[in-house]
Amino acid sequence: MGQRNGSSTSSIAGDRLEEITATHVNVEKSAVRHVDADVAQLEKAAVQRLRARTADFERSSVAFASVNSATIKQSNVGAVVGKSVACDEVRTGILVAPMVRGDVHTWFDLRTAFAIGLGMALGRALIGGGRALAGRARR
C-alpha cells in the first residue's frame, strides 16, 4: 500500500493506498485506509476512515465518515457524523447529523438515540418508584 500526502489535489484510480491528505481528493475504483481532505469525491471506492469538510460519495463503501456536509448516493456507510447529509439510496449503521435529507436506511440515528435514552430514564424512574412503594408497603 502506498501513501500520498500534502498535495493540493490528488486523483486516485485503481490503487490501494494507506493514507491521502490533500485539499481536494478524487478517489475512483480504489481502496484507501484514511482520507483527510477539504473536499473529497469518492466513486466506486472503499475507504476505512474519511475526514472532510465536504464529501460526495457515489456507489462507495465507507466505514467511518466525519464531514461538515455530504452528498451520498447509492452507498454503504458504517457511521456518519456531520452537520448536513443529503442521501439517495444510502444504508448506514449510525447516522449523527442534525440535518438529513433524502432516502436513507439507518439502524441508529439521533431520534433513535433520544428515544432510547428517554425510555431508559423513564424505566429507571418507574423501577425506582416501584421500589419506593414496595418499601413503604413493607413497613
pLDDT tens digits for 36-94?
A: 999 999 999 999 999 999 999 999 999 999 999 999 999 999 999 999 999 999 999 98
Contact 91, 78 (CB under 8 A): no
Domain, as residue range, for 70: 2-109
Task: Give me the amino acid identity at 88.
Answer: D
**pTM as predicted:** 0.73
127: cell is 423501577
Under 8 Å CB-to-CB from 80, ≥6 apart: which residues?
62, 65, 67, 70, 72, 92, 94, 95, 96, 97
What total of structural domains would you count in the chain?
1
Cell for 130? Answer: 416501584
In a domain, 66, yes or no: yes
Taking the C-alpha atoms of residue 120 and residue 136, their distance in angstroms, rounded to an integer, is 24
Question: Is residue 86 one of the residues assigned to a domain?
Answer: yes
